Structure 1
Amino acid sequence: MADINAGKLPVKTIDMELLKKEFFNPSGSLAKVKFGTSGHRGELGKGFCALHAKAIAQAVAKMHKEDGIKGPVLVGGDTRLMSKTVSEICACILAANGIDVILPSIPLPTPVFSMEILLGRACACLNGTASHNPPQDMGLKYNPSNGGPADSSVTSKIEEYANYFMATPSEIKEIGLEEAKQSGLIKEEDVITPYITELAKVIDFDAIKEKGLKAAIHPMGGTSLPFYKAIKEKYKLDNLTIVNETIDPTFYFIPLDHDGKTRMDPSSQYPMKPLIDIVAAGEYDFAGASDPDADRFGCATKEGGLINPNHALCVMAEYLISKNKSNFDKYIGRTLGTTHLLDFIAKSAGVEIDEQNVGFKYFVQGIKDGKYILCGEESAGMSKSGWTTEKDGIFAVLLLLEIMSKNADIAYLYKEITKKYGVSYYTRVDIPTDDETKAKVKSLKATDVASVTEVAGEKVEKVRDTDGIKIYLQNSWFLVRPSGTENIIKFYCESFISEEQMLKIVKEGSAALGIKLS
């Protein structure tokens, strides 16, 4: 992958005015509404424009009326260029359809949408975000009454209705923002206090305060900023410092990622370089970050530098098992591409592993049912039963800080885990591709790879074809699947033998599946 600019600040500014123009008057054929693993996303313009927002909001209004869904819809978004505008558009469309709307004046983290629904203050939400994608992108997510990402039965209906309204915009009902506010259908609520109050039920703030580890927090220009500020004040965490409060839709202050793009990914070493540097210099013991919509986490420590999300999940799993010795159900949930080291941890604790397709929506019901000690994914998302049914980067950062405050450096704790269960050699390769190739990979079935009985000297023990193709070997595994939100194919591999074996599996496994890695 190209990394000429990686770790450096953007070399030129983004043309905000052009993107605004494209949002309202897109050039080229408009993309159809398509919900990936979490919502519809696209570049401002033909990928995501005002009509996309209107059509999705009208589709949600139609679905709510047909299904008899009652209650206010929480509408908001992150700190991106058009998020506030998208939120107001959606609020006005819903109000025009007679639906009550909660429209906060501040940008909202994804887990806060979930919390508001779980607390019964909203029946559903529309969330304007494109997660950690580049600043030119925009998106919309819908969460139903369970507070989590909508499942395919719901998103397919929204897609169908939204694409109909894209083709027949005259059927979209609209009123102006002031008229909607005057009608009483749009109101504002305090969304900070309920969330940070609930946090005290799952985070030991006294331990964090008493230990006093010097902790740096970077909101990465996102929605978590006022929430971290409120947490610091309410729980008197003088040891917690917000090291960058910049809010700018160009995200010019975030170092470029491995491919030279601005991508606010808290699990990547490039955007996280400022935090890695300050813990390496000894200024802080711990540094935590959340992406712009705060559903992903990242952390760096003095001993370990940037902590791999898989490593963090293992440390969190062991800790939560010990913290809840007699008060948890029998599962650790992980997605297909997440480390199998969690399997060893689960087996040792006498609990089960629940392996799900990629997408947090597959954990939602289990979280609500009290099933999970922890559920997580390798792309730095996690939650647990008794908490939000969305990924929560704020909760994850604070939990990691709690763990360090009570135990030791996260890197040290992970090494202790590998001493017990073995070292994991893990990689993920993102391969640029096109829609046709993605469709082919998505359609692969176990029967298509029946002739593959051995890879890199390890026998094939099982094949799963529910989300791409995952091949389980004796002491390793690999997975190939198309991204739900980007034009890339993701190739994952993990071996418990050696790094050399992992690289051999990547080479032979990709060849066996007909995947070109470069």
Structure 2
Amino acid sequence: MMIHERAGQVALQKDLVNIPKLMSHYYRLIPNVEIDEQKVTFGTSGHRGSAFNHSFNEYHLLAITQAVVDHRNRAKITGPLYVGIDTHALSQAAYITVIEVLVANGVNVIVHQHDGFTPTPVISHAIITANKGHYGEVDGLIITPSHNPPQDGGIKYNPPHGGPAEGEITQWIENSANTYLRQHLNGVKREAYAQALLSGSVQSVDLIQPYVDDLINVIDMEAIAKAKIRLGVDPLGGSGIHYWAEIAKRYEIDITLVNDRVDPSFSFMPLDKDGKIRMDCSSPYAMSGLLKYQDDFDLCVGNDPDYDRHGIVCPSSGLMNPNHFLAVAIDYLVTHRPQWSESLIIGKTLVSSAMIDKVCAQHQRVMCEVPVGFKWFVDGLAQAQFAFGGEESAGAAFLRRDGTAWTTDKDGFILALLAAEILAVTGQTPAQRYAELVKLHGVSFYARVDSPVSVHKKAMFAEMIAGKVDVSVLGTDTLAGEMIQTVLTKAPGNHANIGGIKVVSQHAWFAARPSGTEALFKIYGESFVSQIHLDEVLSQAQEIIDKMLT
């Protein structure tokens, strides 16, 4: 992809979304469920879309929420439901719609006080904590499109295990919601928002303090304070913005917010690589505002709007590649958590760096490679069988210091704070720690490229990989000059379908899969030979996919 000429520069007025127009479209545009792009579609992180495109409108939220209620009834989930919300413009409107349907259906709802924002990991943590109390199963909805542009909205469902819902559940919710759309919302219950608030079914509580107070049980906060680590934080206008002051106060840590703005147009954001406003804390372009401060603090960290991702900025070396930090985090945790059993499993997605494989082998730890999507780590984290689960897209979670469950969804707070703990305990930044891993295991050259793809070709590809796929299907037995060792359509760790293919040679691999939320084909590649070798891998991967889709 060509880098936009203004990538990394702060957005101009012409780049900003018209918020009043967006909100008007949310309420007035009615989706046509016979058009694929306007249906309810749950990917790996719920349903996302834009009111402008008839893909995230009030009708969608009414139908989805009623479908979630129906799922709760069939699953006999009787406890209250937590509702979290991020700072996107559509999130507030969607929140009101969700509350109206939940209350009309007799669901008791718990929200953060004063209509405040609530990050994804806080909802997961609250669900897990509540369900330990044995007063009924509790679940949650989080209204967020994650790091997507300001005009987008999103909603995802977390069952009582606290993490992203399994495919069977999301498929059921998707089908049910689309049925409601076809029926013009016949069967959807709704209570006027003002009446819903007076019903007694909506409980406003402080969700910040319990989460902040519990951090000491997952991160060595005392070590961070004792080492006097100076932490610079850019919340990127996200839902965790008010948590940092409480963390600083509670643990006497030196934390400075370098950006305290909350603005639904995200006008303070630098443009991403494609010239769009996107709150992607793994992008050096979107994070260029924070990068200006990299030498003013011992560490800088940033998070996306719902706080399930993390970005780590080290002095002089800048923003860490997410794969690099995952490897560092795993290397540190398995050597600095004495209460963790050595039999605990390290989870990674199959598009994450093979450096993680090498670190696990170094420490003789079992590694489980699963398809893309954090949902594959949920059971393992909930049952404390997985010590760590991480994705190349800068999302991860791990167990408490005593080896029990913390969250079963990605937690950007604890990964950011872990970076500070690593520096406090070892005296080395995460970037310096990664340099040590490179000395041991070699240099990783890694990249992801995206290319547009039609819905038709997505379906065509899915049908193709449903059958047997081997080197004969690829039309070659070599990858960038090396013999192909394996062609995968199922993940080695759990034998689940990966929704794409992964081709592996001795020193390189590529994986190709269509995005679950965007009209894109994603091709990932890694080489432990050279950048030139990686370029050859990616070029050949594109040729192979083009042939398969012709």
TM-score (norm 1): 0.96
Q: Which residue of 1 aligns with 2:39?
A: 32
The CA deviation string for residues 217-264 of structure 1, in whole angstroms up to 9 with x for no partner, is 011000011111211111111x21111110000001010000000000
Of 438, 447, 456, the residue aligned with 1:427 is: 447
**1:114 lines up with 2:124 in the alignment:** yes
Aligned to 2:410: 391
Q: CA deviation at 1:28?
A: 6.5
- The one-letter code sitting in structure 2 at the alignment partner of 1:164 is T
Pick one of 457, 464, 471 that aligns with 1:450.
471
- Aligned residue for 2:529, secondary structure, equals coil
8 A contact 1:429–1:491 mirrored in 2: yes
Q: 1:82-481 counterparts in 2 under 5 A?
A: 82-104=90-112, 105-120=115-130, 123-168=138-183, 169-237=185-253, 239-279=254-294, 282-325=295-338, 327-328=340-341, 329-385=343-399, 386-407=405-426, 408-445=428-465, 447-451=468-472, 452-465=476-489, 466-467=497-498, 468-481=500-513
What SS class does the counterpart of residue 164 from structure 2 fall into? coil
**2:173 maps to amino acid:** I
Deviation readout 1:343-401 (Å, 9 max, x if unpaired): 11111111111001000000000111212232111100000133210001111101111
What is the match of residue 43 of structure 1? Answer: 50
Letter matched to residue 195 of structure 2:
E
Provide the rounded CA distance (Å) in 2 between the counterparts of 1:268 and 1:36. 22
Q: Which runs of 5 or more residues in structure 2 are unaligned?
A: 132-136, 400-404, 490-496
**Aligned AA for 1:334?**
K
SS of the residue 1:173 aligns to = coil
Which shifted more, 290-299 or 156-165? 156-165
After superposition, the C-alpha distances for 1:424-462 in whole angstroms (9 at most, x for unaligned) are 111111112221222233334273443232111211111
The amino acid across from 2:353 in the alignment is T
Residue 20 of structure 1 aligns with an amino acid whose one-letter code is M
Q: Does 1:16 align with 2:24?
A: no
- What amino acid is aligned across from residue 245 of structure 1 in structure 2? D
8 Å contact from structure 1 (residues 304, 410) kept in 2: no
- Give the paired residue count: 514
Give the Cα–Cα distance (whole angstroms) in 2 for the partners of residues 429 and 82 of structure 1: 29
Is this contact kept in 1: 2:30–2:57, CA < 8 A?
Answer: no
- 8 Å contact 1:44–1:137 — kept in the other structure? yes
Return the letter of the residue paired with 2:10: L
CA-atom RMSD in angstroms: 1.7
Instruction: Quote the Cα distance in structure 2 between the aligned partners of 1:426 and 1:78.
Output: 31
8 Å CA contact retained: 1:115, 1:195 = yes
Q: 5+ residue gaps in structure 1?
A: none
Residues 118, 369 of structure 1: alpha-carbon distance in 2 compared, 3 angstrom cutoff: same
Give the Cα–Cα distance (whole angstroms) in 1 for the partners of residues 461 and 263 of structure 2: 37
> Retained in 2: the 8 A contact 1:76–1:83?
no
Q: Which runs of 4+ in 1 moved over 4 A?
A: none
Residues 515, 138 of structure 1: alpha-carbon distance in 2 compared, 3 angstrom cutoff: farther
Q: Does the CA-based 8 Å contact 1:364-1:390 persist in structure 2? A: yes
Q: Which amino acid aligns with 2:234?
A: H
After TM superposition, the structure 1 stretch with the greater mean CA deviation from structure 2, 24-33 or 289-298, is 24-33
Answering whether residue 544 of structure 2 is matched by residue 512 of structure 1, we say yes
Whether the 8 Å contact between 1:91 and 1:103 is mirrored in structure 2 is no
In structure 1, the residue matched to 2:5 is 4
Q: CA deviation at 1:283?
A: 1.4
In 1, distance between residues paired with 2:327 and 2:463? 32
For 1:326 and 1:340, how far apart are their aligned partners in 2?
A: 27
Q: Is the 8 A contact 1:335 1:358 kept in 2?
A: yes
Shift in Å, 1:276 = 1.4
**Inter-partner Cα distance in structure 2 for 1:298 and 1:257:** 14
